[in-house]
């Protein structure tokens, strides 16, 4: 998958060995992690959310593996809710309100 920052105000960064670096346009793999502003998410979760949106389905509840934060990071960790929506950790889901 190719990920491109289209001039976002907060920037897009690819985490390489725990160190974020600016991303303009780059091929990424499911095992990579990206930061959008203060939010960090795995590419695998982004791909799953995109597929669900295309299919018009919600993911069944599942346990997600933790996305390690880079040392000294103040990024907001994103997780997938049981309904399939990606949301900030420890906040209610905007889709199902859980």
pLDDT in tens, 2-37: 989 998 888 899 987 778 899 999 999 888 999 988
Considering the chain, what is the average pLDDT of its residues?
A: 79
- For 51, phi and psi rounded to 5 degrees? -65, -40
DSSP 3-state assignment of 50? Answer: helix
Residues 6+ apart with CB under 8 A from 63: none
Q: How far is it, in rounded angstroms, from Cα 63 to Cα 80?
A: 9
Contact assessment for residue 52 and residue 84, using Cβ atoms and an 8 Å cutoff:
yes
- The pLDDT-based confidence of 63 (bands split at 50, 70, 90) is very low
Per the model's pLDDT, the better-predicted residue between 81 and 35 turns out to be 35
């Amino acid at each position: 998958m190719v990920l491109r920052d289209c001039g976002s105000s907060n920037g897009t960064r690819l985490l390489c060995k725990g160190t974020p670096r600016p991303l303009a346009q780059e091929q990424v793999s499911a095992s990579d992690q990206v930061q959008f502003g203060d939010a960090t998410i795995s590419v695998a979760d982004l791909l799953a959310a995109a597929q669900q949106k295309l299919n018009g389905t919600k993911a069944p509840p599942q346990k997600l593996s933790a996305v390690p934060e880079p040392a000294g990071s103040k990024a907001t960790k994103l997780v997938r809710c049981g309904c399939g929506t990606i949301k900030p950790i420890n906040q209610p889901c905007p889709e199902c309100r859980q």
